[in-house]
Amino acid sequence: MKDTNIFKTFRMTRYIFKFFVLSLFVYGQLAAQSSVNTKTNFIIIFADDLGYGDLGIYGHPTIQTPNLDQMALEGQKWTNFYVGSSVCTPSRAALLTGRLPIRSGMTSRPERVLFPDSKNGLPASEITLAEQLKNADYATACIGKWHLGHKKQYLPTNNGFDYYFGIPYSNDMNFEGTFTSKEEQRAVLAGSKNSEIENFNVPLMRNEEIIERPANQHTITKRYSEEAISFIKKNKDNPFFIYLAHNLPHIPLFASEEFLGTSSRGLYGDVVEEIDNGIGEIIKTLKEEGLDENTIVVFTSDNGPWLVFDENGGSAGLLKGGKGMTWEGGMREPCVFWGPSNIKPGVIQSIGTTMDLFNTFSSIAGIPIPQDRVMDGVDLSKTLFNRFPSEREDVFYYRGTELYAVRHGDYKAHFITEGEYGQFGEREMHNPPLLYNLSHDPSEKYNIASQNMEIINIIKNVVKEHQSNLIIGDDQLKDREGR
């Protein structure tokens, strides 16, 4: 009897000990998990003036982009993805606010973008994607071209970004010298060789300080990629958002020694291939740090190719027009989503826009969408994770504050058409509008308006509804020093 009791006590003690050890183990695991970054990180890589046809995976015959091609194969390649405007400033405002730039006042005419003597920038009342992600304790970095106001109150550091490294506007600004003719300007900017950095006295900033002027643009692409890698390494234990907006391949073109003369596409190809190489290094870093399973990387471009610069401009592939225009080539862009554990691979024909990134990333991060304003994005996460069709049916193509065209499903109506930079014709009003079926005719060659008046009426109703809640923001682009 005594022996049995001793045995029982021993057994009980053993159980208590086991329970204690197990509890310690579980506690240790939980403690370890709580210090590990399990939220989804986001990296947006935004090229400047790269066209729909400029990547290998989008059909370019001589530009080699093996890293982006591989990401598209492992992730999603979108074929109907749009930006919010055909030029830099409004396109960037649309991406970061999830709203059409007409609402924030970041689109105008004749000043289509901000300049080094512009007085204003993105209004403080706008909520940027960085500010939104700060609500869920994301570390945030803006690396590269900003172009939403270079004065202190408008800089990335005052728009939700913890860190900024980059040129605050376009790389062709602060031109040193005068152009005697349009032809000379074109020749200097297009330059058949690697351009002289001294011609373009653009500042390079770290946070709110200018650290180099002129920025050495030969090495800028490489340095932007390195900055992104360094930010990833520093923030691997907490959720992070990186907005990496390359200044290139906007003219004037610059490549580092390592890439100069290496592409069979010429200097433009050297530049794009250097950007692609940096993206490969970023993906490699994510894998090495064990972050590839919980990071989504998206690549796209701010607007179509700047066609007037001939060989030094890019290609919109089979799309009509380019930068500055509301033809497809101006606003439809290559777009690759990558994230090996969550993006369901495939080619996506659904319509998406850069404005949808705000809603999509907010949804994935579990942050509610602002309710006090009209948002123009939709949540694409079901398309990304399950390949469900996106909820987006409409695309609005603005030039300044005028609505030039509307896409509704497969159909696009042009109410106004206008070329830019001396190409693709003068401004022309259309009544009835020109109508194209973009699924059948992506090059916008065959006007089918006369046989499809009922579709035009549907699109007119879409316009009516869109304009019924439209409040145009105060023009932020028109005021420049000395004008």
Instruction: Return residues touching Mg ion (CB under 5 A).
Output: 48-49, 88, 302-303
- Tell how strand 76-82 and strand 346-353 pair up: parallel
Decide if 142 is catalytic: no
Q: How far, in Å, are 147, 302, 464 from residue 169 at the CA level?
A: 4, 13, 35
Closest residue to bound Mg ion by CB: 88
Output 149 or 433, the one with its CB closest to Mg ion: 149
Q: How far, in Å, are 121, 132, 154, 260, 393 from residue 165 at the CA level?
A: 18, 20, 14, 24, 36
Neighbour-count burial of 2, counting CB atoms closer than 10 A to its CB (0-12 exposed, 13-18 middle, 19+ buried): exposed
Min CB(306)–Mg ion separation in Å: 8
The DSSP line for 262-278 is --TT-HHHHHHHHHHHH
> H-helix or E-strand containing 204?
strand 204-206
Min CB(321)–Mg ion separation in Å: 14
Output 162 or 302, the one with its CB closest to Mg ion: 302
Output 48 or 270, the one with its CB closest to Mg ion: 48
Min CB(48)–Mg ion separation in Å: 4
161 closest CA partner among 129, 119, 116: 129
Min CB(49)–Mg ion separation in Å: 4
Min CB(278)–Mg ion separation in Å: 18
Number of H helices, E strands in the chain: 12, 14
Calpha distance 48→94 (Å, rounded): 15
Calpha distance 452→449 (Å, rounded): 5
Output 95 or 413, the one with its CB closest to Mg ion: 95
Calpha distance 135→423 (Å, rounded): 45
Which one of 60, 142, 147, 150 is the catalytic residue? 147
Angle, CA of 195, 199 and 204, to the nearest 5°: 95
Angle, CA of 304, 310 and 312, to the nearest 5°: 75
Output 251 or 343, the one with its CB closest to Mg ion: 251
Min CB(172)–Mg ion separation in Å: 10
Which one of 88, 142, 335, 408 is the catalytic residue? 88
Q: How far, in Å, are 113, 117, 194, 226 from residue 477 at the CA level?
A: 7, 10, 31, 32
Output 138 or 169, the one with its CB closest to Mg ion: 169
Calpha distance 152→267 (Å, rounded): 34
Min CB(170)–Mg ion separation in Å: 7
Task: Specify whether the backbone of 231 is left (phi greater than 0), alpha (psi in -120 to 50) or beta.
Answer: alpha
Decide if 335 is catalytic: no
The DSSP line for 98-167 is TS-HHHHT---SS--S--TTB---S-TTSPPHHHHHHTTT-EEEEEE---S--SGGGSGGGTT-SEEEE-
The catalytic site residues sit at 88, 147
